[in-house]
Chains A and B, each alone.
Chain A
Amino acid sequence: EVQLLESGGGLVQPGKSLRLSCAASGFTFNNYAMCWVRQAPGKGLEWVSAIGGGGGSTYYADSVKGRFTISRDNSKNTLYLQMNSLRAEDTAVYYCSKEKLIVGARTYAMDVWGQGTTVTVSS
């Protein structure tokens, strides 16, 4: 079964750091680009960051650029999001997601999602 399991969320003070992890199973992890998507309480979905299958290409939303770093360890089938200089507006449920491929071709859609991990930034 294809599965993503996030961890690492919690309560953190403004200006501090947190690292999220996403453990993948049931598919060949290094073949797929991965994304982080967040959802603030009562709000819509916001794309945060993406990383290519090899880990060499990374992309960020303007709202987190320079503060967040996405990475992956393909030997451990794990995706990470290092979040620095956290702000109250970073409070959200953070989801990791896997890109859908069709016969190896990219679709830029996300077909598998984790259950989410909650990050609360507050003093």
Chain B
Amino acid sequence: DIQMTQSPSTLSASVGDRVTITCRASQSISSWLAWYQQKPGKAPKLLIYKASSLESGVPSRFSGSGSGTDFTLTISSLQPDDFATYYCQQYNSYLWGFGQGTKVEIK
């Protein structure tokens, strides 16, 4: 099974900061990587699919990049609504898996 290593686990940032979260796969997953945002007590929300495609309705300050084993989620200018936990999710050979999550906190 593929292991996803997401970092950092916690990130303290201020409104307006540029924020970067990374996910590394233990083997190549091509571009089958998605990013989700989750707020307490709520279901996850899809932000990015196929590594870099922005989901409809998601603000353009969110972007994704990478392929193979190394992937990045970037928030270009952190907004108050962005304080949440973020997860990467991979697919390979009929199995899905999530990273451990990154909690973005107010600095």
Q: List residues of chain A with CB under 8 Å of any chain B CB.
A: 35, 37, 44-47, 50, 57, 59, 61-62, 95, 100, 102, 107-111, 113-116
Contact = CB atoms under 8 A, between A and B. Distances in A.
A39 to B, nearest CB: 9
A45 B44 contact: yes
A107 B1 CA distance: 19
A114 B91 contact: no
A46 B46 contact: no
B46 A47 contact: no
Contacts of B44: 37, 45, 95, 110, 113
B72 interface: no
Interface residues of B, number: 24
A111 B48 CA distance: 10
Contacts of B46: 100, 109-111
A113 B46 CA distance: 9
B98 A46 contact: yes
Given A59-B94, A95-B43, A111-B46, A44 B101 contact: yes
B48 to A, nearest CB: 8
B89 A109 contact: yes
21 contacts: A44-B87, A44-B99, A45-B36, A45-B44, A47-B96, A50-B94, A50-B96, A59-B94, A62-B1, A100-B49, A100-B55, A107-B34, A107-B50, A107-B53, A108-B32, A108-B34, A110-B36, A110-B44, A110-B46, A113-B45, A114-B43
Classify the interface of chain A: helix, strand, loop or mixed.
strand
A109 B49 contact: yes
B52 to A, nearest CB: 12
Contacts of B53: 102, 107
